[in-house]
Amino acid sequence: MSLTIELLPDPAANDLRLTQLAADRSTPLERLNVLYGSGLQRLAAQRMLTEAAGGGLAAVYGFTPVDLAEAAARLGRPPERLAWPPGADLVALRRMLDSLDLDRFDAHAPGLAPALLRTLTDLREAALSPDDLPDGDIRTVFGAWRDIVATVEDRSSRYEDAISQTTPDAAYREALGGAPLIVSGIYDLTRVQRLLLARISEAVEVHMLLVAPDDDPRSPPLRTLDALRRETAARVIRSPIPTSSRAPERYFSSGDPTAEADEMASRILGLGRDGIAFHRVAILHQQGAPGDERHAASLARADIPVWRVGGRQIAATPPGHASLVLCRLLLAPTSVERSALIDWLSHRSLRDRPLDITRRPGVWDRIAVEAGLSHGLHTMRNSLEDHFEVSRDEGGRDLLQIISDLGERSRALEAAESWGHAADILIDALDDYIENRPDSVVLLDAVRTTINQLAGNDALGAAWTTQDGLTSIGRALESQVVRDPRRLVGGVNIGAATGPARGIRYDAIFAAGVAERVLPAAGRQDPLLGDDQRAAINARIPAALALQRERGDSDRHAWALMRRAAVRQFTASWSRRSSAVGGPARASALILEAASDSLPAEMRYSEQALSDAGRIERIASPGVADAEHRAAPADAVDSSAFNLALLQLPYADTRALLPELWPQADASLHARARRSARDFTEFDGRLDPELIEDWRPLEQSWTPAALETFVTCPYRFYLHYVIGARGEPAPQRVDRRARWMFDRLVHRILSSWVREYEHFKTDRTWFEYADSASYLNAVARRILDSDAGAAALGPPAGAAAARNEVMRILERARRREAANARDGWRPLAVHVSYDGAQVRVQGGRALRFRGMIDRIDIHVGGRHRALSLFTEPDPPDVRGFVNGSSFLSVAHLCALNQRGVAIRDAEVEHRAIDADGAVSSQVLAGESLATRGGSAAPSDGERLRRTLAVVADQLETANFIPNPGAPPRNRPNCARCTFESTCTPDLGRRYQFKARHDPERVRDLESLRRLRI
């Protein structure tokens, strides 16, 4: 039999050759075996072959190397092996280290055992024996470890059994049905895999398709070729298939990784509109699980389906993390710290009412501090019991009940007789404490399965100890992944550039995060077996171990493959900041090199020059799109003026001439006369409702500010909200910063910060996020550095001070958020608009509100809070509704109610942080409006309804009398009114005069004014 290696220039040639080999069979039912690099490649190639065969494909068998090794070993005479339950390898290694006499290694050093496991796996995959290693600790450990794994089944043991002499050639022939084997999509092989290939080629004919995009001898395919040539009698041929033309390439950079992911999502939507199916698009990167999460979140925001090639690490998901912490609390009770316990009790994956107790982490934190709890589950329980004897605090009783329950479970685990018994206790605890939400069913099932598998240790004869249980569960949950339930066709493929998707052809490939030191990566050496030691072993056994310094070659090869695997479009990008909290990042040399193609020498490799030449698109950070503000009206009602030369003539009788030129002049003169009348008239805003077209004020929604304006001066309300006039704004002084821009800037930073929690929520609780200053500082820096941020800081001379002021306000805001998070609050939605939120007033009527809530928070107990943030020292009073000075809190309560929140579960907070960082807060509980008072002391709710009834009456009767305030002569209401020029200077005197002759007209308004005083 033989091994033929056919060198191909790119993945397209590989696919074409594979199709030809499948078509060359003498009959469509002749068996064909294909060995792929990954399960995903197998799936993609099967689909490609099926399409090439016109929809029907038979007798094509696909394997991955480990599948084939297992199949062949099973048909030989493999030794008896027991499967290791998850995490058992680490426990076994720790026990083994305890029994060894080591020279340099400290067996109990944290991190030694997991690092050793990686090194030992490398040595096994290099098919080395302890004799191949130099004298020392590694050799001692490897020798002892081989004895332990001799009877255990794991991934490496499948290769070891397959290449052992106990597996005859006939077993390979039987596993492959006697048919030849084609190898496709494999670029590098470990030594044990090469030995497997050599064994297979002795039993059947093997034809290996090897894609080598360039002639660099350091590239993984050419290294593999070199090793196979040395170890086997391989025949090497070069494929006549030419290189296919490359897809158009694009490059861009963005401000931060989230913006980069969002830009990709928007481009993928565009591809979808052009008819490219989402599963024909891939995002490949080398940024690990956080990169996967970030891209998946961006695509989810754009409603684009996603399939994560590498799955999700269980411990990095919220239910997995909460479960892992619970196991740690129960299995290591003496090392539990108070803060860790309280943090876990505020975890979002916990049940809202574990053990039928409503969670109140904020109250419990206070009680824990008062009771002097510090660490140790059982010690804390005793301290809390003593404290409760004295305080009899209800919250303390609940916390005591939970800590007692955890303590009892922990003691039961200590006394457990077997791994199976311990697994049952842990599963019970999970069921009682972790919430099984619909979106986390799969994840929780995976956690339960993993813990159930611990029972397998009993079959190995291992005794149960809590320490071993802790090690096993930690390793299992941190190393296992859960797969998305949808398969390849499920959406945009996201995964590692050097992972299972390597070499698969997609219509569009996005290479993300192609930044310096990320791709190609700056590799770190194995701390236990450095590159020099590995090179010394390789000098005796060629290509046995991979060197970490060669990692860059793998990344460069992955880059070349990505570029050639894109059928219609290839896009590469990086973000100019390394992360949301990181520093500046530069483009990878790979991008600069690719984008410099065919440019003159002086422009090559310069990011700026490539950007100027249009080769690299620089996506700017978004700025403030609009400059409008509620207090900055644009047009004046009286901005027009008549200046007719005719009227200037000395001989013209202007008074007679004017009505001829301008017929409405008569009405103007009439109006002027009526303003001096004793009673209020339509020229004072006392209108006949019929005059206003379609006037149904109770059927439309009003902003809280509109109704507050009405209560202040109904005429101002009429001008602004009924006829839509806008007053002349006070000119902005160039040497002062605009307060409203500053206010908006702070709001924008805080809302961006809350929104960006989306990217961290899989591995951070809201408390952890809010408690760390770095996230908010990163968002603040980003926005302050942008054009819009700089503009809001005012003149350059004061910008540094303004920036400090912003940072001071933000820091206080963040601390307040962290304190609230500790109390069990977390954000639910940001910038929530509402319309039609109604509140009932007398006569079966209702007033309707519309507007926007800065943020809605939710408490673990189910309460909802509408939060409004202010950067001024005097925010609107939450109880301002009793006199009509502020309807904001009422409108927000109605909005919460409109969203289905019961009034007793709703509350409103006005939170103000002034320039010095002083925080003040006012809270209005919804249930306070449901109480009843007496005639002498009406309740808040009754006063609200009375005030709103007056407003509703006045609106319905179209009573828009100008109200200059009290005393009328001083006109306090007019001081900051943008319509002052429409009201004559004698308005105060006239109001006093008319109010005396027509008191009925102003009685209700005056009653509101008195309430305000």
- Binding interface with ligand SF4 (CB under 6 A): 713, 715-716, 962-964, 973-974, 977, 979-980, 983, 987
Asked if residues 222 and 213 have their Cβ atoms less than 8 Å apart, the reply is no
Asked if residues 6 and 207 have their Cβ atoms less than 8 Å apart, the reply is yes
Half-sphere exposure in the Cβ direction for 409 (13 Å, CA): 25
Q: Could you tell me the smallest distance in angstroms from the CB atom of residue 781 to ligand SF4? A: 43
Q: Could you tell me the smallest distance in angstroms from the CB atom of residue 638 to ligand SF4? A: 12
Tokens for 779? 């968002």
Identify which of residues 725 and 948 has a Cβ nearer to ligand SF4 in the complex. 725
Identify which of residues 871 and 963 has a Cβ nearer to ligand SF4 in the complex. 963
Q: Is 282 helix (H, G, I), strand (E, B) or coil?
A: strand
Identify which of residues 760 and 979 has a Cβ nearer to ligand SF4 in the complex. 979
Identify which of residues 191 and 720 has a Cβ nearer to ligand SF4 in the complex. 720
Q: Is 712 helix (H, G, I), strand (E, B) or coil?
A: helix
Identify which of residues 141 and 974 has a Cβ nearer to ligand SF4 in the complex. 974
Q: Could you tell me the smallest distance in angstroms from the CB atom of residue 823 to ligand SF4? A: 43
Measuring CA to CA, which residue among 375, 501, 429 is closest to residue 43? 501
Asked if residues 151 and 81 have their Cβ atoms less than 8 Å apart, the reply is yes
Q: Could you tell me the smallest distance in angstroms from the CB atom of residue 716 to ligand SF4? A: 4
What 8-state DSSP symbol labels residue 959?
B
Please give the single-letter amino acid code of residue 92: A
Asked if residues 293 and 313 have their Cβ atoms less than 8 Å apart, the reply is no
Q: Could you tell me the smallest distance in angstroms from the CB atom of residue 964 to ligand SF4? A: 5
Q: Could you tell me the smallest distance in angstroms from the CB atom of residue 728 to ligand SF4? A: 12
Bridge partners (DSSP) listed for residue 181: 33, 206
Question: SS3 string of 722-777?
Answer: HCCCCCCCCCCCCCCCCHHHHHHHHHHHHHHHHHHHHHCCCCCCHHHHHHCHHHHH
Tokens for 523? 């590799």
Q: Is 508 helix (H, G, I), strand (E, B) or coil?
A: strand
Identify which of residues 755 and 1012 has a Cβ nearer to ligand SF4 in the complex. 1012
User: DSSP E strands: which ranges in 257-314?
Assistant: 281-285, 306-308, 312-313
Which secondary-structure segment (H or E) carries 1007? Answer: helix 999-1012
Q: Could you tell me the smallest distance in angstroms from the CB atom of residue 717 to ligand SF4? A: 9
How far apart are the C-alpha atoms of 543 and 228, rounded to whole Å?
10
Identify which of residues 119 and 963 has a Cβ nearer to ligand SF4 in the complex. 963
Identify which of residues 445 and 638 has a Cβ nearer to ligand SF4 in the complex. 638
Asked if residues 308 and 494 have their Cβ atoms less than 8 Å apart, the reply is yes
- The four Cα atoms 97, 101, 103, 105 give a dihedral, to 10 degrees, of 10
Identify which of residues 716 and 744 has a Cβ nearer to ligand SF4 in the complex. 716
Tokens for 444? 């929780």
- The DSSP-derived string for 528-550 is SS-HHHHHHHHHHSTT-S--GGG
Q: Could you tell me the smallest distance in angstroms from the CB atom of residue 812 to ligand SF4? A: 35
Q: Could you tell me the smallest distance in angstroms from the CB atom of residue 727 to ligand SF4? A: 8
Asked if residues 493 and 281 have their Cβ atoms less than 8 Å apart, the reply is yes
Tokens for 154? 């794991």
Identify which of residues 455 and 632 has a Cβ nearer to ligand SF4 in the complex. 632
Identify which of residues 176 and 974 has a Cβ nearer to ligand SF4 in the complex. 974
Identify which of residues 119 and 883 has a Cβ nearer to ligand SF4 in the complex. 883
Identify which of residues 364 and 680 has a Cβ nearer to ligand SF4 in the complex. 680
Q: Could you tell me the smallest distance in angstroms from the CB atom of residue 617 to ligand SF4? A: 51
Q: Could you tell me the smallest distance in angstroms from the CB atom of residue 392 to ligand SF4? A: 57
Identify which of residues 38 and 978 has a Cβ nearer to ligand SF4 in the complex. 978
Identify which of residues 257 and 962 has a Cβ nearer to ligand SF4 in the complex. 962
Q: Could you tell me the smallest distance in angstroms from the CB atom of residue 994 to ligand SF4? A: 13
CA atoms 276, 279, 282, 283: torsion sign: positive
703: phi then psi, degrees, rounded to nearest 5: -75, 155
577: phi then psi, degrees, rounded to nearest 5: -120, 145
> Within 274-360, where are the H helices?
288-301, 318-331, 338-345
Q: In sequence order, which residues have a C-beta less than 8 Å from that of residue 327 and are 6 or more positions away?
A: 426, 451, 469, 470, 473, 474
How far apart are the C-alpha atoms of 758 and 184, rounded to whole Å?
40
Q: Could you tell me the smallest distance in angstroms from the CB atom of residue 859 to ligand SF4? A: 41
How far apart are the C-alpha atoms of 316 and 321, rounded to whole Å?
6
Half-sphere exposure in the Cβ direction for 726 (13 Å, CA): 11
Q: In sequence order, which residues have a C-beta less than 8 Å from that of residue 655 and are 6 or more positions away?
A: none
Greatest CA separation found in the chain? 127
Q: Could you tell me the smallest distance in angstroms from the CB atom of residue 684 to ligand SF4? A: 10
Identify which of residues 89 and 980 has a Cβ nearer to ligand SF4 in the complex. 980
- The DSSP-derived string for 842-909 is TTTEEEEEEEEEEEEEEETTS-EEEEEEE-SSSPPPTTGGGTTS--HHHHHHHHHHHTT--GGGEEEE
Q: Could you tell me the smallest distance in angstroms from the CB atom of residue 607 to ligand SF4? A: 57
Q: Could you tell me the smallest distance in angstroms from the CB atom of residue 975 to ligand SF4? A: 8
